[in-house]
Amino acid sequence: MSKSFKNKVIYQIYLKSFKDTNGDGIGDLPGIIEKLPYLKKLGIDMIWINPFYPSPQKDNGYDISNYCEVDSLFGTMNDFDNLVLEAKKLEIDLMLDMVLNHVSTEHQWFQKAKNGNSYYKDFFYIREGKNKHLPPNNWQSKFGGSAWNKLNLEENKYYLCLYDKTQADLNWHNPNVREELKKVVRFWMNKGVKGFRFDVLNVIGKNQDFVDSVDSEQEKKLYTDTPIVHQWVQELHNDTFSKIEDSITVGEMSSTTVDQGILYTNPKRKEVDMIFSFHHLKVDYENGNKWSSVNYDLNVLKEILFEWQEGMEKGNGWNALFWNNHDQPRANQRFGDIVNFPFETNSLLATTIHLMRGTPFIYQGEEIGMTDPIYSSINEYQDIESHNAYNKLICEGLSDEQAFDIIKTKSRDNSRTPMQWTSGKFAGFSSETPWLKINENYTTINVQRELNNGKLFNYYQCLIKLRHNEKVISDGRFIPILKEDTEVIAYLRVYNDQAIIVFNHFKNSTYSITTKYLKMTGDVLIGNYKNVIRREDKLTLRPFESVGFWIKDVKQLLNALE
């Protein structure tokens, strides 16, 4: 079936924080309907909506208790059907979040298993503890603590939970589980959904021996990217979304490799269209530890981005391109200077990835330059992972202040603050106090103001149009240049007789570069400064400047590349 995800741009909606219409402080489905014209104006093709299914909300909806319903917190099934209808009118497709690795412990499957039903017991990984006090093995939960939790008080039995204790991992080795999950995907397909984002897809194939691990790296290998995952993703593909024309699927891949990325996304293998990988967002982790706070090295960031660009192209794989999502602090704070150069920083980050090979994702608020909030107490954070990490840091001996400083930079709530629509009460998000405290800068950073006087929204519109219209951006080859340069991420894209060259200056100084390619440049494709300082083979870049040029003579360029 024909595929056209290459020239699409997808917008992520964190529903809980997007737009509240009934005054309970929580974003809802009618809120998306209300804002569809805004999304249309931006120009995006599809919206990915974070989970809105019934859930005890221990992990903000990633703990699902019923896959085929709408949680009353977010609206009704009728609202969802209306959303499909209204979005369709504007030619916007929907992508739903499929959390198929685990269910909430309140899901009836788990409840039945807990009550001794043997059919459902086999839906989970339930194992005897090593002894009275020790779980089956030493694996760690990604949210801290043991990856096993007691099934009940009476027995020495545990269930596997790689995330929160209330998220029980499903046993994909059981064909009945796989069939049930396919029914879920089909249920939403039948409602007109064309896109699916598969949560933590590469950890569904646990090695069932459940041996102790020797270290955290080796531990991950026991349940990440195991060969059987590919078989099951192919099965899912074949039995569900292969049946819809123009479906778009993306797998969230925790700690994966380029080689695996190719296996997941090379179209011949019939798995998913693209993947999210996260290595580029770990460059400010100290020795791989998220809960630390260190500066990043541009060359490391660049090396990772280039490795994924070149590697995936070589194997005919495909990347999802993104800086932000609901699990990440805002990238503008990590990689730029939002105090002195907010527009430049935001547009630089956008340019860098939107002109790459892959499908760009925009996370809500990114298009108006939203930033991390400044909270003053740990109690203002809601996220379970942040609280677990805070407690752990305190146990490790950090002071309240030191621990809080780290949470501030890394908490997932940084990007989950309510969308800033206006400078009015509660930022126009809700008429009542929102579930998570609004960022205080909403009086200066908000949609209303951005549409009236801003430059960023408009810049995003241009980037989206370029992807829609220019084959060189959607389909071109990616060729990195200036690899060793310490201030600039630069590359070429080439498609038949079209080529572009892109420079992104990641520092807050003025900087000149010289390269033979500059002599071949023609018109400016896009840039975040009014004019360009270019002389012969020299280009002067200002703080956080991004600029792309058309190449005049592609033959000459290709000769120069040889």
Residues 27-56 that bind Ca ion (CB under 5 A): 28
Binding at 443: pick from ligand GLC, Ca ion, none (beta carbon under 5-8 Å per type): none
Q: What is the token pair recorded at 302?
A: 């660049």
Residue 172 in the binding site for ligand GLC (CB under 6 A): no
Q: How many CB atoms lie within 10 A of CB 289?
A: 11
Residues 248-267 that bind ligand GLC (CB under 6 A): 252
Residue with Cβ nearer Ca ion (15 or 200)? 15
Residue 14 in the binding site for ligand GLC (CB under 6 A): no
Residue 163 in the binding site for ligand GLC (CB under 6 A): yes
Residue 62 in the binding site for ligand GLC (CB under 6 A): yes
List phi, psi (to 5°) of 148.
Answer: -120, 145
Among 26, 113, 258, 464, binds Ca ion (CB under 5 A): 26
Binding at 200: pick from ligand GLC, Ca ion, none (beta carbon under 5-8 Å per type): ligand GLC
CB burial of residue 40 (10 Å; 0-12, 13-18, 19+): middle
Give the interface segment with Ca ion, choosing from 11-19, 23-31, 290-298, 548-556 (CB under 5 A). 23-31
CB of 199 to ligand GLC, least distance (A): 5
State the number of binding residues for ligand GLC (CB under 6 A): 9
Residues 91-130 that bind ligand GLC (CB under 6 A): 99
CB of 252 to ligand GLC, least distance (A): 6
Would you list the DSSP string of 485-554?
-SSEEEEEEEETTEEEEEEEE-SSS-EEEE-GGGGGEEEEEEESSSS-EEETTEEEE-TT-EEEEEES-H
**81: annotated active-site residue:** no
Residue with Cβ nearer Ca ion (31 or 251)? 31
**Active-site option among 20, 45, 252, 344:** 252
What lies within 8 Å, CB to CB, of 507 at 6+ separation is 298, 487, 543, 544
Spatial CA neighbour of 86 closest among 192, 245, 189: 192
Residue 433 in the binding site for Ca ion (CB under 5 A): no
For 131, the 3-state DSSP assignment is strand
Print the binding letters for residues 322-361 with ligand GLC: x by CB under 6 A, - otherwise: ----xx----------------------------------
Residue with Cβ nearer ligand GLC (170 or 200)? 200
Give the span between the Cα atoms of 418 and 428, in whole angstroms.
Answer: 9
Binding at 26: pick from Ca ion, ligand GLC, none (beta carbon under 5-8 Å per type): Ca ion
Spatial CA neighbour of 95 closest among 290, 325, 410, 280: 325
Residue 383 in the binding site for ligand GLC (CB under 6 A): no
Residue 22 in the binding site for Ca ion (CB under 5 A): yes
CB of 37 to ligand GLC, least distance (A): 28
Q: Helix %, strand %, coil % for the chain, to 5? A: 40, 20, 45
| Contact of 494 with 330, CB cutoff 8 Å | no
Binding at 59: pick from Ca ion, ligand GLC, none (beta carbon under 5-8 Å per type): ligand GLC
Q: What is the token pair recorded at 331?
A: 């990238």
359-363 β-sheet, strand order: 274-276, 248-252, 195-198, 93-98, 46-49, 10-13, 359-363, 320-321
Give the span between the Cα atoms of 94 and 8, in whole angstroms.
Answer: 13
DSSP code, position 376: S
Q: Within its chain, how far is the Cα of 364 from the centroid?
A: 11
| Contact of 102 with 176, CB cutoff 8 Å | no
Give the span between the Cα atoms of 106 and 461, in whole angstroms.
Answer: 43
Residue with Cβ nearer ligand GLC (170 or 525)? 170
Residue 59 in the binding site for ligand GLC (CB under 6 A): yes
Residue 79 in the binding site for Ca ion (CB under 5 A): no
Show the DSSP H helices in 59-215 as ranges. 77-89, 108-114, 118-121, 175-189
Residue with Cβ nearer Ca ion (198 or 429)? 429
Among 11, 20, 329, 429, binds Ca ion (CB under 5 A): 20
For 286, the 3-state DSSP assignment is strand
Residue 71 in the binding site for Ca ion (CB under 5 A): no
Binding at 22: pick from Ca ion, ligand GLC, none (beta carbon under 5-8 Å per type): Ca ion
Q: What is the token pair recorded at 314?
A: 């070589």
Binding at 24: pick from Ca ion, ligand GLC, none (beta carbon under 5-8 Å per type): Ca ion
Residue with Cβ nearer ligand GLC (97 or 450)? 97
**545: annotated active-site residue:** no
Residues 180-199 that bind ligand GLC (CB under 6 A): 199
Binding at 503: pick from ligand GLC, Ca ion, none (beta carbon under 5-8 Å per type): none
37: Cα within 13 Å, side-chain hemisphere? 1
Among 200, 203, 250, 258, binds ligand GLC (CB under 6 A): 200
Q: Which residues are catalytic?
A: 199, 252
User: Where do contacts with ligand GLC occur on this chain (CB under 6 A)?
Assistant: 59, 62, 99, 163, 199-200, 252, 326-327
User: Where do contacts with Ca ion occur on this chain (CB under 5 A)?
Assistant: 20, 22, 24, 26, 28
